[in-house]
Amino acid sequence: MWRTVSGFDFTDITYHRQVLDGTDQPVVRVAFDRPEVRNAFRPGTVDELYRALDHARMTSDVGCILLTGNG
């Protein structure tokens, strides 16, 4: 199961943390969420991706980042 990482208001990506039996796991998922344009990047997409990746990098109990696309 995945839960949205709080504190972020993204429009071009989604950012979730894996949860198993109510406990956060060391995995986060960043997904591009612009299927109407085949998940094409724009400057805002890059900014959001940077913020999510930087947050994951600075979170000591994250050991894996899954990068994918929705749609």
CATH of the domain at 42: 3.30.300.220
Q: What is the pLDDT of residues 39-62, one digit of tens each?
A: 999 999 999 999 999 999 999 999
Q: Which domain holds residue 45?
A: 2-69
The pLDDT value recorded for residue 71 is 85
If you average pLDDT over every residue of the chain, what do you get? 98
Cα–Cα distance, 13 to 49 (Å, whole number): 7
Strand 23-32 and strand 2-4: pairing?
unpaired
The pLDDT value recorded for residue 29 is 99
Report how many domains make up the chain. 1
